[in-house]
Structure 1
Amino acid sequence: MKRRLAAVTVVAAAMAGVAHAAVERIQVVERVPFAPGVSFGDYGAYEKIRAVAYFALDPKAAANASIVDLKHAPRDKRGRVLFSSEFVLLRPAGAQPTTLLYDVNNRGNIAILGQVNGRSPALNDPTTAADAGDGFLMRHGFSLLFSAWTWDVAPSAPPVSGAAPRPLVFTPPVAKGVKGRVQNEFTVNAPTDIVTYAGMRGLTYEPATPNDPHAQLTERAKPDDARRPIARSAWHFVEPELKGGPGRVQLEGGFKPDTIYELTYVAKDPYVTGAGLAGIRDLLSYLRDHPFEGAPVPRNVLMFGISQSGRLIGRMMHDGLNVDEGGKLVFSGAYLQVPGAGGSAGFNSRFAQPTRHPSMMEEHDYPADAFPFTSMPTRDPATGKTASTLDKARDKQGNLPKLFYANTSTEFWNRGASLIATTPDGASDVAPADNVRIYGFMGAQHYVGRSKTRAPFTACVSTSDHYLPMRALIVALDDWTSKGKQPPASAYPNFADGTLTTVADYRAIFPQGFGLTPPQQNLREPRLDFGRRYTAQGIADIVPPKHGDDFETRVPVPDADGNDKGGVRLVELQAPLGTHTGWNLRAADTGFAWATSRFDGSFVPFARTEAERVAAGDPRPSLEARYANRDAYAAAVKAAAGRQVAAGLLLEEDVERTMRENLGLYDRILARDPADSGCGYLFSSGLFVPGPG
């Protein structure tokens, strides 16, 4: 029966009976059935609990020492910093032990349901059977937890009719009276007079002085070019389009593509963004140890994050915020999906803007990744420092969480993914620590492609489905951390097996004559100097920062078809229908034709017949030469799927889906007119898959 609870308060400190009580109380505001009428296998019906957790942090506690500006936040009479966070919990209604899987929301949005279950919840509010997708996570016995942790989520337009979206947005403590210089880079894909200067779908800190006469706007063509000032009289600030939204600027003559604009000014009252990380830590710590609303404590606690959210997990471990005030790990394992170089910067500094992150062409000055990058210690030749990403991640007993890092080919081009397994100079391999596995989903892009147009890029997007091995790895991580069952071996491009190389070498090897020309460069992680206080205190004194020599990043080696070698060989690469790359060049009319897409790869099918191949000058053997007929192709897919199952990278329950997806694409390629340059043939209707994260 549906129940709505106005307010149920749990006093955590009294129940815990210990000195460490960062969660003071939890107020349940809603408790209703989730996906009414659906039974998820052995775990039966599920319920949804929406609640608010209230936190109290002691700025003097050693466990909170890494939280930047916490000491500058307002305190109560007991000297504690108070804040709260909304959370949503999906769990079996039968009050049985489950694995608690915390999904780090991405810009306020629940991400795991879209990519793993195949359906993003309507209005970001999981409610109906449709919101459960195929029910994968529920059928496998996971309780799913989502909470607000970041503030810089731009408001969406109010609905014309019906319910409004419900993003999980955090209101952090504020370091009142603190001022500092803030930098905002932005670009446009088409000429426009007015533009928002915040990050992707985000907010920024606005000027401390409205319409600041001393604010500076500059332009340049490439990240390393000298900045050209634009006269202050030629532009002015404009009110936000939506109340509470990001500010805007208007420029005489308009903003143009192919130009990087940068707006800097003095801001004030920075948020204590690290409190959002501490809130995750303390909520997990509390739920790990306390029965909640009639259910027992979880049998296991895991974290999961996609893109920005995966990088946040990296930052938590970098700062030791995966260990609670009592010295215990708050999660036994974590899965960082497409985190690029791992996320050891950003998220916890003064005037941090978590939404921002570097791409090939912009925001090279924003601290998203920094040394150290590897789970085993390496030496930075520029500074002489030796460190690892896990130096502060051990609990008081010396234990570390077990970790999966999984990147696609796109992260090797656009997010420095090679650095998590090489020395900072990109010269040699660094094996992962014993508690870490690394996977590279070769031929895949940041998220599974669904675009039916080339714009704003030059090629159709990649069709590889790496969400299927993700499902297998989530189950494997649970088994590794709760049962001691060994997970699939690491599989990623490396020097030892000859599958990692330079961009110049990639370009020399890549086949020519079928419509794809590789980029001239990939994203090389910048070495940033924000001043002497930044590393220890998170306070930038140099904005924009000074640049040292970039960290060296490498890319996978292509085979004769242009498909990446090494790593996890997805079914799409074992039984290929074309060339899948991790890069896609921008179209000239949107500017920056030399740069790659932030998130998208490319796909070009093989010619259907040898006659078509010869006529087109395509060096790659045709489908006709590779597979005698549809049955032969089906046999190749089935064999590839079997190898993936044996390797622990595909579940038996997903073999039928991979057969259906690949055979469907085969049929659509054969039915397509080669003269049609559109991309619509690539995709059939199916479960909704979200865009970039």
Structure 2
Amino acid sequence: MNKHKLALVVAVAAASLSARAAVERVEVIERVPFAAGVAFREAGAYEKIRGVAHYALDPKLKANQAIADLKHAKRDARGRVVFSSEFILLRPTGAQPSTLLYDVNNRGGIAIMGQVNGRSPVNNDPTSAADAGDGFLMRHGFSLLFSAWTWDVAPQPAGARPLVFAPPVASGIKGKVQNEFTVNAPTDIVTYAGMRGLTYEPATPEDPHAQLTARARPDDKRRAIPRSSWHFVAPEQKGGPGRVQLEGGFKPDTIYELSYVAKDPYVTGAGLAGIRDLLAYFRDQPFEGAATPRNVLMFGISQSGRVIGRMLHDGLNLDESGRMVFNGAYLQVPGAGGSAGFNSRFAQPTRHPSMLEEHDYPADAFPFTTAPSRDPASGKTASYLDKARDQQGNAPKLIFANTSTEFWNRGASLIATTPDGARDVAPADNVRIYGFMGAQHYVGRSRTRAPFTACVSTSDHYLPMRALIVALDDWTVKGKQPPASAYPQIADGTLTTVADYRAIFPKGFGLTPPEQNLRQPRLIGDAIPPKHGDDFETRVPTPDADGNDRGGVRLVELQAPLGTHTGWNLRAPETGFAWATSRFDGSFVPFARTEAERVAAGDPRPSLERRYASRDDYVAAVRAAAERQVAAGLLLPEDVERTMTENVGLYDRILARDPADQGCSYLYAQ
């Protein structure tokens, strides 16, 4: 082929790609030095670019047909659905290509910097050196990208800058919407939207046909509350969620549900397509004087991790040309993986089921496993990645990491077992699964027991997170294998039933395990409320003689233990639902300091005095555990001293604490 024909082929190919590119243009509205030009070691100085990406989606394209209600949205003269989203980019100012790490924001807020760098940016607007925390992600040279993807973000204080998406609207469509809520104390007026969120409001103001019901447990029959005894109340602030007032007041120990007809659902899935197309744009386009990235990764925590799961489940990790838009993704505490929700009519992204709450809202659905598995109830065999592979059969490299709490409250066992919980299903070759045992959904920070019965768990799983982010980058760029999967399994006895857990768990030191965990709801059809099939079977980690979970990633806190760390924490009776657990929190109860104290308290667990002859012995045990974690690739050498300081500091505070003090402040350095 001569050079003129080659040039023509290249030009036609480029035009074809351009025609299918869903980002039409990007406008830059702010470009300033980040952290006042501070140099982050070899990565150097960073800059912040704030902009707006403008999208156009053709509903007829196969790549866009998974987006619920896109075909019902308003179109431009060319038949496309157009919308935009704000984004923020933090990147090194040097010319060297870096890894672009997209952080899926959580309810409008930047999530990764708080947990990984140790500091959430003030007002959700990363600006100062203090906003960089310890600078971990910058020191390792990552470019960080954030954008708006969801609409249901409640108004925030003046000065805050949440990333809020204005999605297309499927005008003219009506449907029933339900809003479940509870209260921790008696009150006359309550907001009925989900956590820190918004909901669809009634299509008819003061809807006379709206229904308010009450029940004691999720599966109980709903009891209707007379329409004459309650009424709608205006939002507390403009643009905020609606409220409802009940004669005699709302009370703890009751699940309330408000339902009515709403109209004009948002095309919520367009937010996921926007993430897809923004990543494709940055993957391919040199931007504002910088080369294209050497690598593209995604990261999400909790809700944000489940967004990644839904994108994979719907094939929205592939651009309109069928190419992968990210090479790897880290799903942190996603529970059962997030294969439902976020992309359906009248979706409320902030809602999700846990042991007590919101069992009628989709969050996870079969298939859960990344290798094929069979659902005995439906007879179907499928995998989580069936739609996530490109035309060559490639799928992104994935890391799933859950804490003990997700096994109790978010169905985490399902990502590695059959749907009936009968046997293990090994992850696909491109997937690693980790269970951070003894940790809770986020590192504990409460200094009080209320509204729960025990102090929270402070196990620091943010440190292995840091190691695994670096490992994912090395895996996708260099082909270097990450640490082997480490999670509780049925075959080795580290994953079990709640009944067995309760039988094995030690007694007599102040913690009584819950009667149940979340059995993942199986939702059938689109009715409101939906029909339920038999729940998916979920399992929990097996405890050892101290009550600490076996299997999985052995955090330093479990290798050199100072007490019992669980993934569950029971609700205080005065808040209602004493049978249920906290949605996100675990428990910690220290060992007795001495054998004499242990015997006097009737505690079956050996004392600190028995375990560690002296403070020096404990320090040595922690350092040895940290070195084992480094060797396993689950702790970076730069974080050894941090884990030493955290664990030895807690040892000192336990020894200085009066055992009669039931407060939780001793967990934290003053």
Partner of 2:357: 362
* Aligned-pair CA distance for 1:37: 4.0
Counterpart CA distance in 1 for 2:356 and 2:336 is: 17
**Residue pair 1:240, 1:247 contacting (<8 A) in 2 also:** yes
**Residue pair 2:17, 2:321 contacting (<8 A) in 1 also:** no
User: Is 1:599 equivalent to 2:584 in the alignment?
Assistant: yes
Partner of 1:142: 142
Superposition pairs of residues 500-649 of structure 1, within 5 angstroms? 500-530=495-525, 540=526, 542-649=527-634
User: Is 1:478 equivalent to 2:473 in the alignment?
Assistant: yes
Amino acid at match of 1:613: R
Query: Which of 422, 435, 439 is matched with 2:434 structurally?
Result: 439
**Residue pair 1:442, 1:566 contacting (<8 A) in 2 also:** yes
Partner of 1:7: none
Residues 1:15 and 1:86: Cα distance change in structure 2 (over 3 Å):
farther
Superposition pairs of residues 310-321 of structure 1, within 5 angstroms? 310-321=305-316
Counterpart CA distance in 2 for 1:463 and 1:397 is: 44
* Aligned-pair CA distance for 1:256: 0.2
Counterpart CA distance in 2 for 1:598 and 1:90 is: 33
* Aligned-pair CA distance for 1:598: 0.3
* Aligned-pair CA distance for 1:398: 1.5
Query: Which of 179, 183, 189 is matched with 2:184 structurally?
Result: 189
TM-score by length of 2: 0.97
TM-score by length of 1: 0.94
Counterpart CA distance in 2 for 1:424 and 1:120 is: 37
Residues 1:208 and 1:14: Cα distance change in structure 2 (over 3 Å):
farther
**Residue pair 1:206, 1:267 contacting (<8 A) in 2 also:** yes
User: Is 1:21 equivalent to 2:21 in the alignment?
Assistant: yes
* Aligned-pair CA distance for 1:684: 1.4
Superposition pairs of residues 442-481 of structure 1, within 5 angstroms? 442-481=437-476
Counterpart CA distance in 2 for 1:344 and 1:514 is: 39
Counterpart CA distance in 1 for 2:532 and 2:392 is: 39
**Residue pair 1:222, 1:260 contacting (<8 A) in 2 also:** yes
* Aligned-pair CA distance for 1:16: 8.6
Query: Which of 273, 278, 299 is matched with 2:268 structurally?
Result: 273
Counterpart CA distance in 1 for 2:14 and 2:86 is: 21
**Residue pair 1:472, 1:650 contacting (<8 A) in 2 also:** yes
Residues 1:376 and 1:17: Cα distance change in structure 2 (over 3 Å):
closer
- 1:359-393 deviation per Cα after TM superposition (whole angstroms, max 9, x unaligned): 21120000011111100111111111111110000
Partner of 1:169: 164
Counterpart CA distance in 2 for 1:341 and 1:361 is: 16
Counterpart CA distance in 2 for 1:136 and 1:124 is: 18
**Residue pair 2:37, 2:46 contacting (<8 A) in 1 also:** no
**Residue pair 1:493, 1:499 contacting (<8 A) in 2 also:** yes
Superposition pairs of residues 101-112 of structure 1, within 5 angstroms? 101-112=101-112
User: Is 1:207 equivalent to 2:222 in the alignment?
Assistant: no
* Aligned-pair CA distance for 1:18: 3.0
Partner of 1:6: none
* Aligned-pair CA distance for 1:15: 8.9
Partner of 1:339: 334
Partner of 1:306: 301
* Aligned-pair CA distance for 1:529: 1.1
Partner of 1:399: 394
Residues 1:470 and 1:573: Cα distance change in structure 2 (over 3 Å):
same
Partner of 2:34: 34
Counterpart CA distance in 1 for 2:667 and 2:537 is: 35
Partner of 1:154: 154
**Residue pair 1:333, 1:402 contacting (<8 A) in 2 also:** yes
- 1:216-268 deviation per Cα after TM superposition (whole angstroms, max 9, x unaligned): 00000000111000000000000000101100000000000000000111100
Counterpart CA distance in 1 for 2:254 and 2:363 is: 22
Counterpart CA distance in 2 for 1:563 and 1:417 is: 18
Superposition pairs of residues 72-91 of structure 1, within 5 angstroms? 72-91=72-91
- 1:653-682 deviation per Cα after TM superposition (whole angstroms, max 9, x unaligned): 000000000000000000000000000000
Counterpart CA distance in 1 for 2:469 and 2:497 is: 32
Counterpart CA distance in 1 for 2:470 and 2:107 is: 25
Counterpart CA distance in 1 for 2:94 and 2:335 is: 39
Counterpart CA distance in 1 for 2:177 and 2:669 is: 45
Q: State the SS of the aligned residue for 2:144.
A: strand
Counterpart CA distance in 2 for 1:371 and 1:120 is: 34
Counterpart CA distance in 2 for 1:68 and 1:480 is: 34
Amino acid at match of 1:471: R
Partner of 1:63: 63
**Residue pair 1:580, 1:601 contacting (<8 A) in 2 also:** yes
- 1:452-484 deviation per Cα after TM superposition (whole angstroms, max 9, x unaligned): 000000000001000000000000000000000
- 1:480-508 deviation per Cα after TM superposition (whole angstroms, max 9, x unaligned): 00000000000000012110000000000
* Aligned-pair CA distance for 1:395: 1.2
- 1:170-200 deviation per Cα after TM superposition (whole angstroms, max 9, x unaligned): 0000000001110110000000000000000
* Aligned-pair CA distance for 1:157: 3.8
Amino acid at match of 1:519: P
Amino acid at match of 2:604: P
**Residue pair 1:154, 1:245 contacting (<8 A) in 2 also:** yes
**Residue pair 1:316, 1:322 contacting (<8 A) in 2 also:** yes
**Residue pair 2:37, 2:47 contacting (<8 A) in 1 also:** no
Partner of 2:667: 682
Q: State the SS of the aligned residue for 1:284.
A: helix
Counterpart CA distance in 2 for 1:615 and 1:489 is: 43
**Residue pair 1:157, 1:242 contacting (<8 A) in 2 also:** no
Q: State the SS of the aligned residue for 1:36.
A: helix
Counterpart CA distance in 2 for 1:155 and 1:82 is: 25
Q: Which runs of 5+ in 1 are unaligned?
A: 1-12, 159-163, 531-539, 686-693
Residues 1:326 and 1:17: Cα distance change in structure 2 (over 3 Å):
closer
Q: State the SS of the aligned residue for 1:663.
A: helix
Residues 1:457 and 1:84: Cα distance change in structure 2 (over 3 Å):
same
Number of residue-to-residue matches in the alignment: 658
Partner of 1:10: none
- 1:507-555 deviation per Cα after TM superposition (whole angstroms, max 9, x unaligned): 000000000000000000011112xxxxxxxxx2x11011111100000
**Residue pair 1:453, 1:679 contacting (<8 A) in 2 also:** yes
Query: Which of 666, 669, 678 is matched with 2:654 structurally?
Result: 669
Query: Which of 219, 224, 249 is matched with 1:224 structurally?
Result: 219
Partner of 1:691: none
- 1:52-109 deviation per Cα after TM superposition (whole angstroms, max 9, x unaligned): 0000000000000100000000000000000000000000012321000000000000
Counterpart CA distance in 2 for 1:85 and 1:95 is: 27
Partner of 2:6: none
* Aligned-pair CA distance for 1:19: 2.3
Counterpart CA distance in 1 for 2:435 and 2:644 is: 22
Counterpart CA distance in 1 for 2:19 and 2:190 is: 50
Q: State the SS of the aligned residue for 1:19.
A: helix
Partner of 2:8: none
Q: State the SS of the aligned residue for 1:412.
A: helix
Counterpart CA distance in 2 for 1:314 and 1:66 is: 14
Amino acid at match of 1:33: P
User: Is 1:48 equivalent to 2:48 in the alignment?
Assistant: yes
Counterpart CA distance in 2 for 1:294 and 1:684 is: 45
Counterpart CA distance in 1 for 2:149 and 2:392 is: 28
Counterpart CA distance in 2 for 1:399 and 1:460 is: 45
Q: Which runs of 5+ in 2 are unaligned?
A: 1-12
Counterpart CA distance in 1 for 2:344 and 2:202 is: 18
